[in-house]
Amino acid sequence: MIRGFFNQANLSELSETTQQPELSRRRFLRAGLGACAALALPMGASTAHAAIRRPFEKKLSFLNLHTGERTHATFWANGRYIPESMRAINYVLRDHRTGDRRSIDPQLFDLLYLLQHKLGTKQEFHVISAYRSPATNAKLAEQSGGVAKNSMHTHGKAIDIRLPGRKLSDIRSAAMSLQAGGVGYYPSSNFIHLDTGNFRYW
């Protein structure tokens, strides 16, 4: 991520001034699975046959704006996360400064999947920042007081994204309507921060 973006992104974790009721991990998962089930619900006989032939899957696409790397992966199918796909996504979402990678919280993928369906799109997410190593985070913290020492990015629980051709305000509204996780709005830097913490926005 561009250095300025990193600094502004971390302000999100220090400026969460608007708090909403906590959404528990279990409730989040129920909401995600419920929405996914609704998306897979057959609408007629022909759709039902198609559902039998093609089990419900969850797919996501990412473009890392710093490395130019892309991935389009089915990360969930037949009731489970797919390890190979998760590794491919984790690689693209690694810390581009150090090359370090970490397993991204699967809930973050579920959140992004629900968001893209809320927006009615299958576009790839343009990634400004995802995983950030402790070393990178510490270096950035030295340069800016706006960088949280225990950033959710360092735990693989946060991502900063945009969607080409989509208004940032529309992405923010769709994300907030999910009532899950943190939603940060940074129009001056053209990205939305999402994380798997308690529901809140700023």
Give pLDDT tens digits for 11-54.
444 333 334 444 445 454 454 544 444 444 343 444 434 444 55
194 three-class SS: strand
At residue 191, does pLDDT exceed 80? yes
Q: Summarize pLDDT for 129-183 with one digit per residue, the tens.
A: 999 999 998 987 888 766 778 899 999 999 999 999 999 999 999 999 999 999 9
State which CATH number among 1.25.40, 1.10.3470, 3.40.190, 3.30.1380 fits the domain covering 3-12+23-38+57-201: 3.30.1380
Residue ranges covered by each domain of the chain = 3-12+23-38+57-201
Measured CA distances, 146 to 121, 128, 169 (Å): 33, 17, 23
Beta bridge partners of 64: 127
**pTM given for the model:** 0.74
User: By the 8 A CB rule, do 171 and 189 touch?
Assistant: no
Q: Biggest alpha carbon distance in the chain?
A: 61
